[in-house]
Chains A and B, each alone.
Chain A
Amino acid sequence: MTQVFQAKIIYTMNAAQPTATHIAVSGGNIVAIGGIEDVKHLSDHVDMSFVDKVLLPGFVEAHSHATEGTFWRHTYCGFFDRADPDGRVWAGLRSVGEIIGRLKKVAEVTAGSLTGWGIDPIYFKNTRVTRHDLDEVSREIPVGLVHASCHIVSVNSKALELLGLLRTGIIHPGIVLGEDGLPNGELRGPEAIALIGPSIGFDSDLLGCDADGLRKFARLCIRKGVTTASDFANPLSDNLVQTMLKTTAEPDYPIRLVSLLRSQELSGEALIQRAKVLKALSTERLRLGSVKLVADGSIQGFTARLRSGGYFNGAPNGLWYISKENLLSAYIYALKHDIQIHTHTNGDQATELVIACIKEALQLCPQDNHRFVIQHCQLADDDLLIKMKQLNVSGNFFANHVYYWGDQHAAYTVGPDRAAQMNPCASALRHGLQIAIHSDAPITPLDPLFTAWCATCRETVSGKILGPNECIQVSEAVYAITMGAAYTLGLDHEVGSLEVGKRADFAVLEQDPFMRQASFLREVSVWGTVQSGRVFQAQRPT
């Protein structure tokens, strides 16, 4: 059966036919698009439910983590208002006192352990949250507070006691000591967090995602117009894959999930072989078979690898999380077996190494359509961007970082000059790169229109414009959250634009993002989505 929808206006992101008013859908695919004359032969009935709505291609979140769904099982404690999967807005908390207050209320009805997430002390003058603060929440059960970066966790005394860590004499770079010589409850970096994680219900399994978490994540996607979302670091064990296959196959599962293999136990050929096995399991709604590698750490954690210039505050250079030999061998096997690899870099030195390895791999195994993507790629000057273009490597920039941490980057991490060039979308487009932009949810909230706003306005939390020369046009930003993102995930032949033969994936908007200035992008409200022809209205908060 063919369904015809009429909308106020349809922006197709197809340059050959930029706008339309009518779109016909059959079997989940677009079969005709244009005016009424172009579709009326397909159906007598025109569905008028979107007649006052604006349709865009369903947004593609180019870098997120499905685990955001499981985070909502814990208590949100962030500075900014944030909507949960059901649309209920959790008010931002503006002081440590407010955080303690919210956790206290939850503790009254909680047994076992209690975890809050999303706090970022930089928004209240870097006040540290210590075990003494969290002891006010509870002395009986272990309490943890995961920071927004996920690189720092604060815990109460009980959590430390349970692991025998509430004692003097501890020497560990990730365990902060108080004046009394005892740990003050703040744990920094993956090694320290791994010690405490399991006792507060925040362990490495969280990266995988259970059925409930996957459903919650998908509900967040509907609210933000997302019809295809990436899941950027999943161990993809056999059990997890079974759960994911089953959940995404539920008839009303509303998104296409692209889940990437991240393994720290496999390398080289074994890693690529595992990806091949996974690729064969792919379904319409669960896409497997791509691999994520991580080259360095994060800039705000001072673990990213920077070139000369280093950290603005004098911190020593960051850490390598993979050797160039392992990078190169993964790239070579990926090219031989037609597996796509995404590589995380934050610092420019890491990007430089990745580019060098891709170049060498391509010399050994020449290939045109390899779709290597550098993820985050936050510091990339013209030199690196030109090299990326030469090798046909695309960049997926962390536009949201400019808003959430831009002020800190200017003040502490890389200084005002390099901060103004972070996530250089305009330069990348000038050099002809394919680009995407992303939220890295749950690190920042999943919301492609907001991400597009960040890339067009580059406004920071304090209201400064960070690097106005790197602002891009609204049309370029919307392209980046549709076709650009689809390209980086290797799905541009299926989604990302509205044209005949592609999937009928729409973002259904209440307002027209193109009719006003760029600053309006973040104000546009989303009615819901259509995914493969199935209509999903965002749930109104109760």
Chain B
Amino acid sequence: MTAIPNDLPVALVGGFLGSGKTTLLNNLLRNTDGIRVAVLVNDFGKISIDASLIESVEENILHIAGGCMCCSYGNDLVAALRKISRKRDLFDRVLIETSGVSLPYAIACTVPLIAGLELKTTVVVVDSYSLWSQLDDPLISDTVLRQIASANLVVLNKVDRISVSAQEGALSQLRKICPETKVYATTRSEISWQDICELSSQPNLRQLSSMSSISPGSLFVKPGFGKTTEGHNPEAYFDSCTLEMPGRYDFAALGKALTRCGSDLLRAKVIALNKEGNLTALSYSSDSYETLDLAKKPITAYGVFIFRSSVDSNRFLKKIISSSLSQPKPSVLG
């Protein structure tokens, strides 16, 4: 079908769990340049959109600064897409984040069958640090392969965590899976609208038929660099915890406390009152944090923490909170 000019362009963002899909979405949402974007995510299990971008929340829809919105589609993507299509005057672009284990191919085939939508491209994010262990794992290697093979653009992410020779090795493996697909190397999914828009508007629908000839066992010769200098196991599981955070906090102390957690803490996001009583957002990841003053809005103060599941979460969070609470509640003992 030839797309009529006012069809709403759709981009899929796929990739295995933890590869950096949400970071990519946030990067795009932070730099929309006035483009009104509708984002569809599988679920809001972990609060994934930058809290600082959220204007208001209703049921399964987050309204985002600049005329954007984000909604969860759960088990009925088709219904969500039809709804977006009916409201297509309100948006300039649609982004669909697929779940970490799903195959973008099936969704890529479905989108063009919804009147009013046009599939432009499939972006698949790959965690370069975990790629080898994923391809080595018989439970998930074929899923990761099939995801990568369906991409128009592969974002080879977190390359700062591997050596240059390892990057070259990863690239040559990607070449074998999808020889003609463009690959961008990034550290934190730094992809712009331009990167996405300049891709050919020919969606990648051909590869599944040839997938049966790709078998993980035969394709890959595992090079020697699988383990990098960092000692921890990239497969370790993470847990998340959402807390209400009433009271006032010393954000500098909070940031320091988070930084001290080292590799136990993967990511944190806090929206709470600072010492002066102003609503402040803090976003922590990769050993560094940034704070942002928010205009005062009626929003519940909360913190989301993603940490290694081997950590005792109660003690862990208590330590962080108590070291930064600037108006401690009178304790029972005191």
Contact = CB atoms under 8 A, between A and B. Distances in A.
Contact of B109 (A172, A235, A308, A329): A172
A412 B110 CA distance: 28
A267 B237 contact: no
Interface SS of chain B: helix, strand, loop or mixed?
Answer: loop
Interface in A21-79: none
A321 interface: yes
Contacts of B280: none
A165 B113 contact: yes
A261 to B, nearest CB: 13
A252 interface: no
Interface string B73-84: 111111100000
Interface string A285-325: 00000000000000000000101100000101101111111
Contact of A191 (B107, B212, B240): B107
Contact of B237 (A305, A353, A360): A360
A99 B144 CA distance: 42
Nearest to A169: B1
Interface in B217-255: 237-242
B197 interface: no
A164 B115 contact: yes
Contacts of A172: 109-110, 113
A235 to B, nearest CB: 8
B72 interface: yes
A270 interface: yes
A266 interface: yes
Interface string B54-81: 0000001000000000001111111100
Interface in A137-164: 163-164
Interface string B33-62: 000000000111110000000000000100
Contacts of A320: 101, 140, 143
Interface in A228-280: 235, 263-271
Contacts of A316: 142, 211-212
A204 B80 CA distance: 13
B110 A323 contact: no
A524 interface: no
Contacts of B138: 307-308, 349
Contacts of A170: 113
B76 A204 contact: yes
B321 interface: no
Contacts of A1: none
Nearest to B239: A329
Contacts of A319: 101-103, 143
A425 to B, nearest CB: 26
B45 A326 contact: yes
A173 B109 contact: yes
B237 A265 contact: no
Contacts of B299: none
Residue among A170, A268, A332 with the highest chain B CB neighbour number at 10 A: A268
Nearest to A233: B75
A167 B208 CA distance: 22
B1 A269 contact: no
Nearest to B76: A204
A308 B216 CA distance: 12
B101 A322 contact: yes
A266 B44 CA distance: 7
A78 B240 CA distance: 47
Contact of A194 (B43, B76, B109, B140): B76
Contacts of B106: 173-174, 189, 191
Contacts of B17: 323, 325-326
A267 B238 CA distance: 14
Interface in B138-180: 138-140, 142-143
A268 B237 contact: no
A411 to B, nearest CB: 21
A163 B78 CA distance: 12
Contact of A332 (B42, B73, B102, B309): B309
B86 to A, nearest CB: 14
A515 interface: no
A264 B74 contact: yes
B193 to A, nearest CB: 27
Contacts of A109: none
Contacts of B110: 172, 191-192, 194-195
Contacts of B113: 163-165, 170, 172, 175, 195
Residue among B105, B110, B115, B205 with the highest chain A CB neighbour number at 10 A: B110
B74 A191 contact: no
Contact of A324 (B72, B78, B139): B139
Nearest to A273: B242
Nearest to B115: A164
Residue among A267, A305, A322 with the highest chain B CB neighbour number at 10 A: A267
A340 to B, nearest CB: 20
B100 interface: yes
Contacts of A173: 105-106, 109, 208
Contacts of B115: 164
Contact of B74 (A265, A268, A307, A308): A265
7 contacts: A164-B115, A172-B110, A173-B105, A191-B78, A191-B110, A194-B79, A267-B43
Interface of A: 163-165, 167, 169-175, 189, 191-192, 194-195, 198, 204, 235, 263-271, 305, 307-308, 314, 316-317, 319-326, 328-329, 332, 349, 352-353, 360, 364
The 8 A-B pairs with the shortest beta carbon distances in the complex, nearest first, are A267-B45, A265-B74, A264-B75, A194-B78, A172-B109, A320-B101, A264-B74, A323-B101
Interface of B: 1, 17-18, 42-46, 60, 72-79, 99-103, 105-107, 109-110, 112-113, 115, 138-140, 142-143, 205, 208, 211-212, 237-242, 309-310
